[in-house]
Amino acid sequence: MEGKYARYIMTDVDKNYLASLKVPDYIEEQRRRGNYMESFYMFHLDSNILPGGFYTDCHWILSIKGNGGLQTELAHAHDFNETLGFVGSNPYDPRSLGGEIEFWLEDERYIIDKSCLIFVPAGMKHLPLIFRRVDRPFFFWTASDSPRYSRVPEPEQKKQ
């Protein structure tokens, strides 16, 4: 794409960013047991990719395989606000997520089966995030007011 402002229009994920991602050990262990997710990583933005940009990640969640839910993230906090969005793909019932996730805010568990936005204030412990069911693909993204993603892990994560 050409034009004075074309750099502000993202149509693909940054290949350098994708190459830098390391799959956490707990995800590898779930995969070895036959539990995994089929997804499509759409976009990542931060100030390293585009100066002035803020952290955003976007994924299509297509299906989960195996027996039981798939945990994709551990509990943590940030020193910035974060928004997470989950949006179903049924054009005749867009409020239905088309699946079910388990999402934790501090020590409260929420089971979510509707499209939603979740606001997580800076410093609030959130997650784990467990994809319990994917009946139909849905869109998932995270965004923050931070130029880069960072987190404060739980004490047990620091030992890993």
CATH of the domain at 89: 2.60.120.10
Within 8 A by CB and 6+ apart from 34, the residues are 65, 66, 67
Residue at 66 is within a domain? yes
pLDDT of residue 133: 95
Task: Name the band, by pLDDT with cuts 50, 70 and 90, for residue 160.
Answer: very low
Mind listing the pLDDT tens digit for each residue in 62-118? 999 988 788 988 899 999 999 999 999 999 999 999 999 999 999 999 999 999 999
> Does the pLDDT of residue 18 top 50, yes or no?
yes
Q: How many domains does the chain have?
A: 1
Task: Name the band, by pLDDT with cuts 50, 70 and 90, for residue 153.
Answer: low
Task: Name the band, by pLDDT with cuts 50, 70 and 90, for residue 19.
Answer: confident
pLDDT of residue 154: 56
Residue at 139 is within a domain? yes
State the residue range of the domain holding 118. 12-149
Residue at 76 is within a domain? yes
Mean pLDDT, rounded, for 109-133: 96
Task: Name the band, by pLDDT with cuts 50, 70 and 90, for residue 16.
Answer: confident
Residue at 144 is within a domain? yes
Read out DSSP for 86-144? Answer: EEE--TT-TTEEEEEEEEEETTEEEEEEE-EEEEE-TT--EEEEEEEEESS-EEEEEEE
Residue at 114 is within a domain? yes
- The C-alpha R_g of the chain, in whole angstroms, comes to 16
Residue at 160 is within a domain? no
> Does the pLDDT of residue 141 top 60, yes or no?
yes
Residue at 156 is within a domain? no
Residue at 67 is within a domain? yes
pLDDT of residue 156: 43
